[in-house]
């Protein structure tokens, strides 16, 4: 089994050209799976039945692992069994009919526009690190990029004269995304007055966003920086770099952007992934109806009224 798993991982690298982080996730999940098979005396492909895979998944559900992590783990197991079946290492696929019950769709957390502005105003732009933070978070919100894409961006990927950046998403898939004027301004200030003071000839290479030692800023480093600014802002929501991506997509759609255009900028292979943000937009429409329709206002008054102004209503005031 160990040899089959390693061959499958090699296949993902060579044939599928998946990103390093994705390969490592597959490796970890399949190691858990292999350990389970060994512990339950199922070390041969022919010994594995659907019931065993259900048992494997159930132990993580009982442990309280996040549903998204369990779904990812089952996906890894399914992909592995599909591979060994296609390679004719076995005559059946025990994972084919295995499914897990999913909870109703949870909408991603989104920041209001004024909350985004609160965070973006906090970095001290009279020092190199603060200037880097300002440029990086402006860039993150302006492009809707994943934080991993931002941190791997090089100066050569940013075409300042044209106002575009080249991003490399999952599986090293390339896309070109426009950069707004505000983000472009701060990127220019950072490249002129911040990055040269952080750069290290041995370690910086052409990486755009550097840490204090002149190396590529890490994901954990970026997360800690954002956490610091969120705490300073007084915002109580759970905010991660990915929240900027969700906010970017939601604000564009609420402003009337075409779904296909947002899909292209986010780098989603399937438009159904992008459509989650239309749920957020519909939530806004429902909010408008409840707030301004006379009969809905009467119902609200009978129930005690509402006390807070809606997220998107505030956002639109700032647009």
Neighbours of 152 (CB within 10 A): 18
Catalytic residue positions?
Answer: 146, 170, 242, 245, 268, 277
CA distance 89 to 266: 38
Q: 78 is written with which tokens? A: 């399914």
Q: 4 is written with which tokens? A: 């089959």
Residue with tokens 């550097």: 210
CA distance 2 to 12: 15
CA distance 118 to 156: 30
User: DSSP states of 92-125 as a string?
Assistant: --TTTT---PPPPPPPPP---HHHHHHHHT-S-T
Q: Which residues 6+ apart lie within 8 Å of 302 measured at CB?
A: none
Q: Do 4 and 45 contact (CB within 8 A), yes or no? A: yes
Biggest CA–CA distance in the chain, Å, is 68
CA distance 6 to 286: 50
CA distance 106 to 101: 14
Residues present in the chain in total = 319
CA distance 29 to 74: 8
Q: 109 is written with which tokens? A: 């957390």
């Amino acid at each position: 089994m160990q040899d089959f798993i390693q061959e499958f991982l090699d296949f993902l690298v060579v044939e599928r050209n998946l990103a390093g982080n994705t390969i490592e996730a597959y490796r970890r999940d399949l190691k858990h799976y292999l350990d389970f098979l060994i512990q339950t005396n199922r070390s041969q492909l022919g010994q594995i039945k659907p019931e065993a895979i259900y048992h494997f998944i159930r132990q993580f559900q009982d442990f309280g692992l996040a549903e998204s992590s369990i779904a990812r783990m089952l996906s890894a197991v399914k992909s592995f069994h599909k591979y060994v079946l296609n390679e004719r290492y076995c005559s059946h696929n025990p994972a084919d009919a295995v499914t897990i019950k999913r909870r109703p769709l949870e909408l991603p957390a989104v920041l209001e526009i004024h909350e985004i502005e609160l965070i973006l105003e906090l970095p001290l732009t009279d020092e190199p690190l603060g200037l880097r933070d300002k440029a990086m978070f402006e860039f993150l919100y302006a492009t809707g990029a994943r934080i991993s894409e931002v941190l791997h961006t090089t100066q050569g990927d940013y075409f300042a004269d044209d106002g575009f950046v080249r991003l490399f998403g999952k599986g090293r898939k390339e896309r070109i995304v426009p950069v707004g004027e505000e983000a472009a301004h701060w990127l220019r200030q950072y490249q002129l007055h911040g990055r040269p003071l952080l750069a290290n000839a041995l370690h910086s290479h052409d990486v755009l966003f550097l840490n204090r030692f002149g190396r590529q800023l890490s994901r954990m480093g970026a997360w800690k920086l954002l956490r610091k600014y969120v705490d300073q802002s007084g915002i109580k929501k759970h905010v991660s770099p990915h929240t900027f991506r969700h906010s970017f997509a939601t604000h564009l759609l609420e402003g009337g952007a075409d779904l296909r255009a947002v899909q292209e900028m986010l780098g989603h292979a399937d438009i159904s992934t992008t459509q989650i943000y239309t749920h957020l937009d519909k939530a806004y429409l429902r909010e408008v109806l409840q707030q301004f329709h006379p009969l809905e206002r009467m119902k609200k008054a009978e129930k005690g009224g509402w006390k807070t102004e809606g997220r998107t209503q505030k956002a639109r005031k700032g647009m």
